[in-house]
A and B are shown apart, each in its own frame.
Chain A
Amino acid sequence: MQKIYNRIIQIAGNVVTVEATGIGYKDLAEISSKTGKSLAQVIRMDGERVYLQVFAGSRGVSTGDKVRFLGHPMRVSFSENLLGRIFNGAGIPRDNGPVLDENMIEIGGPPVNPAKRIIPRKMVRTGIPMIDIFNSLVESQKLPIFSVPGEPYNDVLARIAMQAEVDLIILGGMGLKYDDYLFFRDTLEKHGSLSRSIFFVHTASDPTVECLLVPDMSLAVAEEFALKGKRVLVLLTDMTNFADALKEISITMEQVPSNRGYPGDLYSQLASRYEKAVDFDTAGSITILAVTTMPGDDVTHPVPDNTGYITEGQFYLRNGSIEPFGSLSRLKQQVNGDTRKDHRVIMNRMIQLFADYRSTLEKQAMGFRMAGWDKKLLSYGHDFEQKMMDLSVNMSLEKALDMGWEIMAKHFEPFETGIKSELIDEFWPKK
């Protein structure tokens, strides 16, 4: 049954309060005003006062406007017809295609029972050595790219999306610049991937509240496909905009802020989205790659900080390449033991040596004399940066491992690397 009310008693920020009865928590309503119709969601109930968060914003809403409750929470259509389509945060097409309203499913559904998850086992090969060797990406992993604004994070995202072997790509764009949105669309189209992609895009000029819906819409659809056995890759860019939208709403609702104005439940809010990444026992999987821009390159900022505690690692993008320190794939040990037996050794020793190189660089910058060992480290580090870290490097894991041995052999004696003799005998390039 649909009920219509027209007693709006308060408008503050994007939250409208209306007197109504018999309403379910988190139900949807439609507000019709002079500026058009907009959906709104119940976010608090206090006696007869119902607080509604208006998706399109409260601008132009009058106290005499009609509020029609739909009697159900936010939903999205799910079918094969979604493929190749582009929607906004509220699920309305932005590609001039037809509106989809068949087979509606609720968004923000219940969490997966941990007993029905399985340990992820499949490596997702990307062709980027800094990922494949040092921090392998694994199917069903949730991994953000931490980056300052201005780094080519969307390019990395698009490149991984196209090279990764998945059945389906869902892009959730939050606060995207319009040209970034066009970049994603055109890149995927050029590579013929658009037909297996679904976009939910909120651009920077769209109403804030719609931004909050993007991850839930994307993940609800991804979940349905995964249950049908599909391997889905969800790209979320940029989650900092999502967190900022949360902040805006919670302050409007006069909640006590915890850290730099963000709500106390920021961790839970982010976790309930990221935790949708899953490898189902007897069905498909969801892998989440997200972007979290770090305001002021500060990883202790609440958004990257909370994200780091939720996700299974992170990639730092700095000066146009993936930084080896701090970047981490927590699931890599699930897969890097079965690739090639020198994989783990190369991964550990090259990074340890690179760490020594970095501290030698510091010493050099302070004007110290470089000892023999320091000089070795300097030439090694330089080679590593050019042949491994550069983002333009694109090669298979096996080729990259061989490259690793070559670089080490060029600069060091075998015993200086601290690698077990048995592996040295097998892999050290013979001169």
Chain B
Amino acid sequence: MVEKRTGKIVGVNGNMVIAEFDDYVVQNEVAYVVHGSERLKSEVIRVRGKKAELQVYEDTKGITIGGDVEFTGELLSVELGPGLLGQIFDGLQNPLPQLAEKCGFFLKRGVYLEALPDEAKWEFTPSAKKGDKVRAGSKLGSVKEGIFEHWIMAPFSLDGEMEIDQIAGKGKYDLKHAVAKLKDSRGNIYKAAMQQTWPVKIPITAYAEKLKPSKPLVTKIRIIDTLMPVALGGTYCVPGPFGSGKTVLQQLISKHADIDIVVIAACGERAGEVVETLRTFPELVDPKTSRPLMERTVIICNTSSMPVAARESSVYTAVTIAEYYRQMGLNVLLLADSTSRWAQAMREMSGRLEEIPGEEAFPAYLETRIASFYERAGFVRLHDGKTSSVTIGGTVSPAGGNFEEPVTQATLKVVGAFHGLSRSRSDARRYPAIDPLESWSKYDSFIDAKQILKVKAILRKGNEVDRMMSVVGEEGTLISDFITYLKAEFLDAVYLQQNAFDKVDAATAEDRQKHAFNVIHEIMEHDFKFESKDAARKFFQRLRQKFIEWNSIEWKTDAFAEKEKECRKYITG
């Protein structure tokens, strides 16, 4: 039995506490700073001689020199098990609604609740039997968690192959009850409960192999799915200046994306936005399962006024939970908003540690931290042959809206798709304000690549004509060029832009996108002849009107077919 290791506080600077210890400390172990009856969670982040420097995950008001520090020897971990779905946690996995019941309106410091209540009982159905060979992540049985078959898996920390020595029968157990006993080749027995813990900063790798992401993830946002798609198990980033619609875009994707589970990491952003999600999701119905969206969602929220250090842990907590559900064979989408706040939290701590600053005072290890976070995404084949994925989408909030800053640049190096939001598009209310010319994706769309190339060429040409017109004026522009410009504007207005407030237009499913794109593509290819530029402009204005109305008609209805016929007739004259 290890004796309790303790230390004494010798310095306080913001959320950094320096403690002198007698025995030994472990880098990144969790420690508690004791202040009266409060115990404040913290993490060892640097050791110098007999002094350990701790980042405290709470406000440090009132802490005194000479106070006690207790070291736990454990790395910062999360609890994994049934009951995570539908929950709202802070960055340290405290359930916020339960905290509100206990402490009222405010987040009292030093109060930590169990993420998964011990006393809750779950109906366990074994799927493995005595004598089966298992390894880390193998399925032992399952419980029903909402609409999902939640698999109880052998602990991820197991090393090598084991044999099931004993397994519980069908019945209700609490989460810490050992439902199976596993024996290794030397006869050591390991217990497996329905709940396990895992250190957040270490990826879960209990799968057979990592594959190349190749299946598209349908977000139902046309501009993304068509021009800059995201793949299951891929990564993408959404940088944009404030007010360009990053969070709205993330919210739309979290609602409409064709995916099993969504983990939302609200990291250092506005509390109001989280509130919107957590108040509306229980009422919104997922069209795929016809159950409330909340049942497929986990929210990790560490908003901007909550302690800074826990902001850093919140993205790791979120990705660990995402990886856990991936192990069950599910496709998980992690939305991190915003990774810049996480980077700033690193910067604040680095400043307190008086490390030599890199660009814009960000620490030198910024790039490697960002890279290793996005690398936790992936499309994997599990040991049972099934494939599953974690897709990561992170927003970036570049200072001054300038993409040349360190966080954006470090992110662009490691992601597979870039959805750059532009101020000029959002000023012109062209939503989603993703710049169709600047953005890119390395993944394949479900729409024919050749057609996309043609459409992109028209967009580019239209943009060139637009710029030229601002120099030579409309009268100095050829009518053929002017028509290309009108085509590009039309494409933008009726296909790339989407009205998030229109029930139908807000989300376009895969088959409808294919259909609509074909029609648009025909128009792009059509050789129009007009007598004057004014006539051309009028023609496209009316056509736009018809298409916008078409966009908000329910798919596969008579009205839809009729409107389409009307559009086609208008084109052929």
Contact = CB atoms under 8 A, between A and B. Distances in A.
A348 interface: yes
Contacts of A120: 272
Interface string A264-306: 1101100110011010100100000000000000011110011
Interface in B255-306: 268, 270-272, 274-276, 278-280, 301, 303-306
A265 B11 contact: no
Given A310-B270, A326-B427, A113 B99 contact: yes
- Chain B CB within 10 Å — which of A108, A256, A283, A355 has the most? A256
B531 interface: no
Contact of A44 (B13, B88, B341): B13
Interface in B484-542: 501, 533-534, 537, 541-542
A163 interface: no
B300 to A, nearest CB: 11
B188 to A, nearest CB: 43
Nearest to B474: A371
B548 interface: yes
B534 A371 contact: yes
Contacts of A372: 534
Interface in A368-406: 368-369, 371-374
Contact of A371 (B10, B280, B301, B475): B475
**Range of interface residues on A (Cβ < 8 Å):** 35 or more
A111 B303 contact: yes
Interface stretch (B157-165, B321-329, B394-402): B394-402
Contact of B470 (A301, A333, A363): A363
Interface string B65-81: 11000000000000000
A271 B475 CA distance: 51
Interface stretch (B126-134, B210-218, B346-354, B556-564): B346-354
B146 interface: no
A313 B242 CA distance: 8
B275 A275 contact: no
A420 interface: yes
Interface stretch (A21-29, A87-95, A237-245): A21-29
A259 interface: yes
A257 B347 CA distance: 11
B479 interface: no
B305 A308 contact: no
Interface string A319-339: 000000110101101000100
B169 interface: no
B104 interface: yes
B275 A119 contact: yes
B53 to A, nearest CB: 12
Contacts, number: 220
B304 A310 contact: yes
Contacts of B97: 115
Nearest to A272: B305
Interface string B447-481: 00000000000000000000001110111000000
A369 B475 contact: yes
B167 interface: no
B105 A256 contact: no
Interface stretch (B106-114, B192-200, B371-379, B382-390): B106-114
Contacts of A415: 541-542, 545
Interface string A130-147: 000000000010000000
B63 A227 contact: no
B305 A276 contact: yes
A48 interface: yes
Given A21-B66, A369-B473, A265 B13 contact: no
A228 interface: no
Contact of A112 (B10, B109, B271, B545): B271
Contact of B534 (A309, A330, A373): A373
A11 B530 CA distance: 80
Contacts of A189: none
Interface stretch (B54-62, B201-209, B224-232): B54-62
B361 A259 contact: yes
B570 to A, nearest CB: 12
B242 A308 contact: yes
A208 interface: no
Nearest to A298: B400
A210 interface: no
Given A110-B109, A300-B400, A371-B534, A25 B12 contact: yes
Given A22-B65, A114-B96, A275-B305, A258 B360 contact: yes
Contacts of B474: 363, 368-369, 371, 374
A299 B400 CA distance: 7
Contacts of A272: 304-305
Given A27-B62, A44-B12, A268 B304 contact: yes
B486 to A, nearest CB: 12
Interface string A333-376: 10001000000100010011001000100110010110111100
B351 A309 contact: no
Given A27-B62, A73-B61, A268-B348, A119 B280 contact: yes
Contacts of A308: 241-243
B189 interface: no
B147 interface: no
A149 interface: no
A45 B12 contact: yes
A418 interface: yes
Contacts of B10: 46-47
Nearest to B105: A116
Contacts of A299: 400
A352 B428 contact: yes
Contact of A110 (B12, B107, B303, B360): B107
A27 B63 CA distance: 9
A348 to B, nearest CB: 6
B100 interface: yes
Contacts of B397: 309
A25 B61 contact: yes
B103 interface: yes
A175 B558 CA distance: 65
B237 interface: no
A326 B400 contact: no
B171 interface: no
Contacts of B471: 366
Contact of B305 (A48, A111, A331, A359): A111
A22 B66 contact: yes
A109 B106 contact: yes
Nearest to B549: A420
Contacts of A179: none
B107 A113 contact: yes
A275 B270 contact: yes
Contact of B301 (A112, A114, A280, A348): A114
A368 B429 CA distance: 26
Contact of A305 (B278, B338, B399): B399
Interface in B146-200: none
A2 to B, nearest CB: 15
Nearest to B346: A264
B97 to A, nearest CB: 5
A76 B354 CA distance: 34
B39 interface: no
A352 B549 contact: no
Contacts of B62: 24-27, 73
A368 B473 contact: yes
A301 B402 CA distance: 12
20 contacts: A24-B62, A25-B61, A25-B64, A45-B12, A46-B13, A47-B65, A108-B61, A113-B100, A117-B272, A140-B272, A256-B357, A256-B361, A259-B360, A259-B361, A272-B304, A308-B242, A352-B429, A368-B475, A418-B545, A421-B545
- Top 4 closest pairs, chain A to chain B, by CB: A300-B400, A368-B473, A275-B305, A271-B304
Given A21-B65, A312-B270, A373-B534, 13 more contacts: A111-B271, A113-B105, A114-B278, A115-B97, A258-B357, A271-B304, A310-B304, A333-B501, A355-B429, A359-B470, A363-B470, A366-B470, A418-B548
